[in-house]
Amino acid sequence: MNLFRAASAAAALALICSCATPGAPGNSPGGEPGKQPGQATVSTVGGSESGAAPFATPSSPPPPRPQLGATSVSLSDAGASNAPATEPTAPTASAPPANAAPMHDAGAIETDETGLLQATQGQGGGARGPDSAPPTAAEQQLAAAESGADEDAVGAEGLESRASGRPDHPRTLEEIKASGYIRVLTRNNDTSFFIYRGHRMGFDYEIGKRLAQRLGIRVDMVITNDWKEMVPALLKGEGDVIAAEMTITPERQAEVLFASPWSQVREVIVWKDGTPAIKAPADLAGKDVSVRKNSTYYDTLTTLSAQLVKEGKPAIQIKLIPDDQETDTILTALAKGAYSYTVADDVLAEIHAAYFDNLVVGPPISPARDVAWAVRPQDKKLAAEIDELLREMKKKPDFNIVKNKYFEAMRDFKKRGKDAFYASETGTLSPYDPLVVKHSEPYGFDWRLVAAQIYQESRFDPKNKSWVGAQGLFQIMPATAKGLGIVDATDPEQSIRGGLKYMNQLAGHYSDISDPIERYRFALAAYNSGFGHVDDARKLTRASGKDASVWKDVAVWLLKLADRKVAAHARFGFCRGTEPVDYVRHIDERYAGYVQLVPLKKGEKLPSPKVEKGPAGKGAAQ
């Protein structure tokens, strides 16, 4: 499965029992009482494709957006509740008084004194308000299962109520400390920042959290819509530091102050196997190379192309890719044949070549370049804090542990994804068949479908531990395991019992789907990417006239959520839909093979489904 930013399905309910009220503690612009140093929130700023707008049908053009400045959409620490989504209302014409407490009506969009559009959805991002019915037992059970004791457990990416860090002016280090939070501008990609099984992950996120802990405050991760917004957002005060594996160039040094470099990269050519090989930079003469314009890759190519023309060779045909596309997205598209050649930092190219057998990493076309965090030119004190943090981390194994986790272990993790497809070619699927049968039966699950999921997760290895710490047959994260009553995730019975309890809770969210296999498919998608994105896709499917209870129809729209123009109309926004869709597809295909390998005996029937109505139950599917 392709990887790393999938949001946990049930962590979205970790704070479902809390209902926000205007002016409640923790929702003021000046930070949150009770937040521990280093704890994080996530937000998105800038760009015409951010924010939420009323949605009519998938084919209708997006409504006009008021031009009032950047849009800041926060992504919740605890995710969103799975109550029926309330469509955002249009922005009001009048702004609230200066220093007014933020509104927390579900779906409201407010305008602050700076002209910023601030989208809010109530505590945790859901539509549950003060007058809503109390959470059901199933909701509380699922919230407890996912929350555990891990501060980093979060759920599906969704809007949150908190207005802390609302951009107004560039802040000094003293103001940052006094506010209780530091805003880190970053990108949502495979190495800087992402959500994996409901946990915030990423090299820049982990270093950002260490910086916040050093300062005695918390960290807010701020995701810009595209790379060209990074420096302007920093200079306007929408963030306090850029942490996005940014290379140091003279042009950037004229605008920002870089902290000490933490690594070096070289730019390399990458292509799909079967495309004419590039043995030297000069071989790019006349070739189509696709890159973002607002990138050092583009600058490198234009310089190289001019040199080739000077030598009497054809110019490089530079094809522009939208600036909101991440390098990892471009490399994935390259592997599927969308482009002829592209340019990437060597470390990213090697990571993706380990996953995609057909990607070829070619020669470097740039010298080694330093990579560093950036602050505003006047923020020398903050740069000094970053430098001291990195010096202290490098004196101990800490820095290399974090770096290897995301740039080495991730590469190995991707290689493991290419193991043999089926677990067994005998009538026995695994040594754990009796346990799978035993614990599937009470829920009415086809044990062979469960076995296919376990193989996808762990290859039937109970000692399997992922690079992020997920363990056991079901690869359950420690916080989730604690909430499910799993003491030892490597114990096969505990893992299977807890994993199926969890899957039953997820399936309960889709209790309106009558077919048990279809319902399990939706539960799998939620397990991989979170309720929010799946519910968005179901709503879009229904609006298009298709059946929102049929996975293959919904999968089409889940894939379309990778189109930011479509995602702008979805409550939970952008989703790399290939990840949950591939996850379900792999398990489905393996399940079909298992059904052939281990057919039901004559007269044998599967147990009747016993699906407990889960959080938001049928409501979330309407």
* Dist CA 43 CA 233 (whole Å): 13
Least confident of 3-7, 290-294, 388-392, 452-456: 3-7
* Dist CA 512 CA 13 (whole Å): 20
* Dist CA 234 CA 256 (whole Å): 9
User: Mean per-residue pLDDT for 143-156?
Assistant: 35
Residue 567: pLDDT over 60: yes
N residues, the chain: 622
- Structure-block tokens of residue 63: 């409504």
pLDDT at 413: 53
Higher-confidence position of 407 and 94: 407
* Dist CA 218 CA 234 (whole Å): 18
Q: Are residues 506 and 532 in the same domain?
A: yes
Q: Are residues 255 and 273 in the same domain?
A: no
In a domain? residue 231: yes
Question: Domain of 578?
Answer: 421-621
In a domain? residue 349: yes
pLDDT at 196: 61
% of the chain residues with pLDDT over 90: 47
Mean of all residue pLDDT scores within the chain: 74
In a domain? residue 564: yes
Higher-confidence position of 135 and 378: 378
The secondary structure of 549-608, three-state, reads CCHHHHHHHHHHCCCHHHHCCCCCCCCCCHHHHHHHHHHHHHHHHHHHHCCCCCCCCCCC
Check: CB of residue 260 under 8 Å from CB of residue 312.
no
Residue 404: pLDDT over 70: yes
* Dist CA 244 CA 25 (whole Å): 32
Place of tokens 């049968």: 437
pLDDT at 357: 85
Q: Is the model's pTM score more than 0.85?
A: no
Number of domains in the chain: 3
- Structure-block tokens of residue 159: 């809007």
Q: Are residues 492 and 539 in the same domain?
A: yes
pLDDT band at 14 (very low <50, low <70, confident <90, very high): very low
In a domain? residue 2: no
In a domain? residue 60: no
Which residues lie across from 257 on neighbouring strands?
375
Q: pLDDT tens-digit profile of 496-520?
A: 999 999 999 999 999 999 999 999 9
* Dist CA 102 CA 112 (whole Å): 9
Q: Are residues 542 and 426 in the same domain?
A: yes
Higher-confidence position of 581 and 5: 581
Inter-CA distances, 358 with 190, 267, 270, Å: 19, 19, 10
User: Mean per-residue pLDDT for 415-435?
Assistant: 59
Q: pLDDT tens-digit profile of 34-68?
A: 445 554 444 444 433 333 332 233 333 333 322 22
What is the residue-wise DSSP string for 476-512?
B-HHHHHHTT-S-TTSHHHHHHHHHHHHHHHHHTTTT
Q: Residue 368: which of 348, 345, 350, 341 has the closest Cα?
A: 345
Higher-confidence position of 501 and 20: 501
Check: CB of residue 16 under 8 Å from CB of residue 129.
no
Q: Are residues 258 and 310 in the same domain?
A: no
* End residue of a domain, out of 410, 438, 464: 410
Q: What's the burial of 398, exposed, middle or buried (CB within 10 Å: 0-12/13-18/19+)?
A: middle
Q: Are residues 402 and 357 in the same domain?
A: no
pLDDT at 189: 80
With b for 16 or more beta-carbon neighbours within 10 A and e for fewer, the 603-622 pattern comes to eeebeebebbbbbbbebbbe
% of the chain residues with pLDDT over 70: 67
pLDDT band at 33 (very low <50, low <70, confident <90, very high): very low
Q: Are residues 161 and 41 in the same domain?
A: yes
User: Mean per-residue pLDDT for 243-249?
Assistant: 93
Check: CB of residue 510 under 8 Å from CB of residue 615.
no
Higher-confidence position of 439 and 27: 439
CATH number of residue 590's parent domain:
1.10.530.10
Name the region of 118 (left: φ>0; alpha: ψ -120 to 50; beta: rest): beta
Which of the listed ranges 16-25, 132-141, 220-229 does the model predict with the highest average pLDDT? 220-229
CATH number of residue 128's parent domain:
3.40.190.10
Which residue type, as a one-letter code, is found at position 552? K
Q: pLDDT tens-digit profile of 274-327?
A: 999 999 999 999 999 999 998 999 999 999 999 999 999 999 999 999 988 889
* End residue of a domain, out of 350, 367, 384: 367
Q: Are residues 177 and 231 in the same domain?
A: yes
Q: Are residues 289 and 330 in the same domain?
A: yes
With b for 16 or more beta-carbon neighbours within 10 A and e for fewer, the 89-100 pattern comes to eebeeebeeeee
pLDDT at 228: 86
Q: Are residues 332 and 198 in the same domain?
A: no
- Structure-block tokens of residue 412: 């190995």
Check: CB of residue 198 under 8 Å from CB of residue 154.
yes
* End residue of a domain, out of 355, 388, 410: 410
Q: Are residues 224 and 241 in the same domain?
A: yes
In a domain? residue 528: yes
Check: CB of residue 426 under 8 Å from CB of residue 595.
no
pLDDT band at 439 (very low <50, low <70, confident <90, very high): very high
In a domain? residue 3: no
Residue 241: pLDDT over 70: yes
In a domain? residue 67: no
Phi, psi of 44 (to 5 degrees): -120, 135
Q: pLDDT tens-digit profile of 160-192?
A: 223 344 556 899 999 999 998 999 999 888 788
Chain centre distance of CA 350: 21
Q: Are residues 339 and 471 in the same domain?
A: no
Q: Residue 292: which of 264, 318, 256 has the closest Cα?
A: 318
Residue 128: pLDDT over 70: no
